[in-house]
Structure 1
Amino acid sequence: MDEVSKTALGVARVRAVESERLDGLFDDPWAAKFCAAAPDQVPTGERTPLSLSFAFHAIIRTRFYDDYLLASGCRQVVLLAAGLDSRAYRLDWPAGIRLYELDLPKVLAFKESVLADAEPRCRRTVVPADLRADWTKALQDKGFQPEEPTAWLAEGLLIYLTSEDADRLLAAVTALSAPGSRIAFERGDRSYQDQALNSPSMQRYSTLWRGGLDRPASQWLTEHGWQPTEHALGPVAEAYGRPIRKETSSGFVTASRGASR
């Protein structure tokens, strides 16, 4: 896998450790299997305040997005840059869910080799695609229905894109989103990002960052016909019984598009 794809193994390691806790916020039995399948590529490194903060955020966002997807009310779900996400296999999906996973071909090939004997809990469709290029035709060729409300998830993605690529991606999502659709992604903390850029323990991630949107996410969403809601990390984490120790401006943005049909 390329360097961007290897970061997915770092998140898988975090999810595997969290799944071992008796009070874990989720149970992802496939995370450890992904790591075991590529042990020489799993990031380890020292435990620094920044790396621990990264891991904490990854844990909270995993559970937050689990809840977001299950409560979306949409029968069509799209995971953009799905990476080593195993939600198709571990969440209790309502009947009739169609879930599409988009990512680079090499990432999906590795993932499929690990999940070969696993049984998804919904109708899962894999879509090999580069999200920096035209991916919408590949998605529709796999059966995606743009006239149906969709729950979109761009977990840990936008910061790896330039502002132009991020804008293009979200514009394409908007064009495919029927009334009643929803979307979710992160709201970054600029001070944390600046520190991470100069931290050896975070360079495996931060050297790949390209900045993402060049204006606040809620502003972009409002300008493009979405109704956004911001979710600060602190209150979300506290609601899950994991209060944060240091104030941060990071968190999540969810948005809906029009009214359900």
Structure 2
Amino acid sequence: MARTDNDTWDLASSVGSTATMVAAQRVLSTREGLIDDPYAEPLVRAVGLDFFVRALDGEINLDEIDPRFNTRRAAEGMAVRTRHFDGLFTDAARAGVRQAVILAAGLDARAYRLPWPTGTTVFELDQPEVIAFKGRTLAELGVEPTAERRALAVDLRDDWPKALSDNGFNPSQPTAWIAEGLLIYLPPEAQDLLFDRIDELSAPGSRLACEHIPDVSMFADERALEIAERLKAYGHSIEMGELIYHGDRNDVVDYLSDRGWDVTTQRMRDAYEANGFTFDEESTIGFFTDMAYLSAVKP
């Protein structure tokens, strides 16, 4: 279903289902020993989307969907992504940052699984149903966060800076921000507003990680559409082309640089190589060739 103004979702519908998809890939990465996210699998199973549960149970063979994008390659791709965003937080912690914000947190369990230094506060922001589900599910599992976790049920299209302020966020302290897998689901003007707000709330020493996707049309190229059609035969109903916002948008690197941030990017091929993996441009992951992972520091 195409996006509309003020649309809402849970973890089994619309944009929320992509968070479940990402968590399912983190399960594969964990099973392959590439990352350690013990909470991804129980969260995905609790959501209960049939395709992902069957995939985790081995009832769906990724090789049959695309022989060049098997389970191992899916696990490697998610490991590259997860390590990038984990690294932003762990590097910031080593630098003395004790305030972290996860935007559009979804099924992100970093507040529970990363080794946060004493005195760290982790703010999670997402739709009310998403925040409630994850907190309730992990509580039922008896899991405790490894930092002071403050989960804020707020739509990023609303006044989320006020929600942060009302819950103890201190803009005079440096903050580590991640916007993982978020930007393509924002209209161009909302992307600008997001970074304007982050900049306003960030003291010197703050850090930020996100993806740099110069052209969202990659999600509608021939390879992407072909894989989407194959997945439908297995009950996979996520239509990325309908969930993202198309059209021209400001370049993230330029936007942050113009506001004084020191920005570095790592192209996908280089990110794979840095993690000891091979980036196969001829396979499904090839349509991410022009994508990069971005890190930025505010001097």
Provide the TM-score with structure 1 as the length reference: 0.89
Q: Which residue of 2 aligns with 1:26?
A: 35
The alignment partner of 2:239 has SS state of helix
Q: How many Å separate the matches in 2 of 1:33 and 1:203?
A: 21
> Which range is displaced more, 108-117 or 33-42?
33-42
Moved more, 30-39 or 238-247: 238-247
**Structure 1 residues 193, 50: CA separation in 2 closer, same or farther (over 3 Å shift)?**
farther
Residue equivalent to 1:39: 48
- Aligned equivalents of 1:212 and 1:15: distance in 2? 30
- Which SS does the other structure have where 1:153 is aligned? strand
Give the alignment of 1:92-241 within 5 angstroms: 92-116=115-139, 117-188=142-213, 190=215, 192-195=218-221, 198-199=225-226, 200=228, 201=231, 203-211=238-246, 214-241=249-276
**Percent identity, aligned pairs only?**
38
Amino acid paired to 2:41: A
Q: Assess if the C-alpha contact under 8 Å between 1:160 and 1:211 holds in 2.
A: no
User: Is the CA contact (8 Å cut-off) linking 2:213 and 2:290 kept in structure 1?
Assistant: yes
Point out where structure 2 has 5 or more consecutive residues left out of the alignment: 1-9, 232-236
**1:71 alignment partner, SS class:** helix
SS in 1 for 2:29: helix
Task: Give the drift of 1:212.
Answer: 8.2
Could you say what secondary structure the match of 1:198 adopts? helix
Aligned length: 256
**Aligned partner letter, 1:221:** L
Aligned to 1:242: 277
Conserved in 1, the CA contact under 8 Å of 2:122 and 2:148? yes
Picking from 76, 90, 104, the partner of 2:99 is: 76
TM-score (norm 2): 0.79
Equivalence for 2:4: none
Q: CA deviation at 1:229?
A: 0.7
Asked whether the 8 Å contact 2:263–2:294 carries over to 1, the reply is yes
Alignment CA distance shift 1:132-1:30 (3 Å)? same
Residue 145 of structure 1 aligns to a residue in which SS? coil
SS in 2 for 1:29: coil
Counterpart for residue 295 of structure 2: 254
Pick the structure with greater CA Rg.
2
RMSD: 2.3
* Residue-by-residue CA offset, 1:234-258 (whole Å, 9 max, x unaligned): 2222221222112612121111111
Q: What is the CA–CA distance in structure 2 between the aligned matches of 1:242 and 1:144, rounded to whole Å?
A: 38
Contact 1:5–1:83 (CA under 8 A) maintained in structure 2: yes
**Of the candidates 11, 18, 21, which is equivalent to residue 7 of structure 1?**
18
Q: Distance in 2 between matches of 1:114 and 1:220?
A: 38
Task: Answer yes or no: is the 8 Å Cα contact 1:160–1:212 preserved in 2.
Answer: no
